[in-house]
Amino acid sequence: MNVDVAASRLAELGHTTRLEIYRYLVRAGSVGSPVSDIKDALKVPGSTLSHHLSRLIRVGLVKQTRNGRVLRCFAQYDELAALMEFLTAECCVSE
């Protein structure tokens, strides 16, 4: 991961609502969560939620699938792991 990708992901997670959405999806696990459940749990208006989800999707932290009328969101754990690895890659390295 390069610094620009890491910075864009951190910038998106730096917004309170987007961080709450992402944490909710991480807790949902591999089954993800329908958008309606996220909206109800976090008490976020639908248009606002859509805006924040699109930003998280754009940087690769969230993915969406549609099954009939249900739009389901999933945290992308590999991308989160890559971001964490990027942040800690030089941990405790002395110069």
Q: Average pLDDT, whole number, for the chain?
A: 94
Domains of the chain in sequence order: 3-87 (1.10.10.10)
Q: Report whether pLDDT(91) > 90.
A: no
- Give 54 or 92, the one with higher predicted confidence: 54
- Asked if 33 contacts 72 with a C-beta cutoff of 8 angstroms, the reply is yes
pTM above 0.75, yes or no: yes
pLDDT at 94 over 70: no
CA distances from 5 to 19, 24, 83 (A): 17, 22, 9
pLDDT in tens, 16-60: 999 999 999 999 999 999 999 999 999 999 999 999 999 999 999
pLDDT of residue 72: 97
77: CB partners within 8 A, 6+ apart: 26
